[in-house]
Structure 1
Amino acid sequence: MSAYFFHEIPVCYISGFVAVRDPYSNLENLLNVVEAINCCPTSRTTNGFIFDFALFTGDVNRVLIRKADGFFTMAMPFQIIDYGANIVFIYDEYNLTIDSAFISYMKNAINTCREGAYSYDNVVYSLHESFGMEFNEAILYSDVLSSLLLKDHGYFRFDDDPANQNARIHPRYHFDFFCTNSTGIKIGVNNNITSSFFIDLFDLNKNRPYMA
């Protein structure tokens, strides 16, 4: 397993995450991570204990984001190429680099879908109108959006939530696992969880951590 850590990410990106309610919001958060790393290559650190974002590649490809009250994590669908001074994200299925243009196209497509029910044709037309794309290119990026939305996002989070704790109904320390894009399972634990729990969890060569 390879791990990449990033610290002192600007507040504009840290505050840019949205609550995950559907595949669109998960993709928004994923794009926010990639944009932050693209724009802040000097944020990379070797400190695996103090970080804002962490990327894991190998048998498990995931992103881990530290938040004020815990962590959240989701699958990373992009290939990571490490050039040392910077990291490049590639969507292998379409041989596309995840750069600022790609991110703008996807954000436009997500906003178009949120204006009504998902429509492949509406996404194509919006990309054509907004960016002056030829229709064949707009069709390509509409295909990319569909592909990303259909992938298993694997989102789950850990919360330290003393304000809302309510005995066994809403434990202070708990994991939220998402099924059909809403909270499906809440599992309470006795103690706070640190980043080392996730680092061990994502490394298939290590023993599985117990939550108790």
Structure 2
Amino acid sequence: MSEPLRLYVGYDSREDIAWQVCRYSVLQHASKPVEVTPLKLPELRAQGIYTRPVDTLGSTEFTFSRFLVPALAGFEGWAVFCDCDFLWFGDIADLFAQADDRYAVMVVQHDYQPKEAVKMDGKAQAAYPRKNWSSLMLFNCGHPSNKTLTPEVVNRETGAFLHRFQWLSDDQIGSLDTGWNWLEGWYPKPAQGTPQAVHYTRGGPWFENYQDVDYAQEWRDTAEEVKRLGIKA
């Protein structure tokens, strides 16, 4: 029997319901077994893997921990990282099917220039090159260049170095279709169907001020199903 697909999800204690919905929506649409792991900072700190000081400027608790994925995966095989504020409509197996060994990482290469000054629950909305590229990453964990992404490097390097993929050359970064990281409020809704994965990067329906965003009702319906079924991960 083949190994399950590996998905690591950024976890923020302020957004537990977002993580629950993200996980459930992935599993609901997956045609293959998926091992879903939340990146919880207390656990990573207890294991001695994550030692960075608390980042008061970071908008989430997983601003940096996402780059530990190749190390957590043993620098072997392929793994996906996504932020917790995703609602999946597509089959994550189809995303893994796009894995191309030529690349160290594959991402949706957005040209995202947010107009808002704040997002989510009042966090500053920063603009920087390659913004939101790192919010969903298909990692080739065994790629030689990713083997330099050790916990020591992740704990030491700057946000610019990590989020701009400066440990890689440009030709080592592959491109994914927009639908795999569809930025709510930035991309137009498709005329038919849904994106494979909606990313509520400005803020989602679990925040009071974001009740009317695109695909809000679909998110609420999924959250209600999670609660009704008593699912807790």
Q: TM-score, normalised by structure 2?
A: 0.26
Structure with more strand by fraction:
1
Of structures 1 and 2, the one with the larger relative CO (CA 8 A, separation 6+) is 2
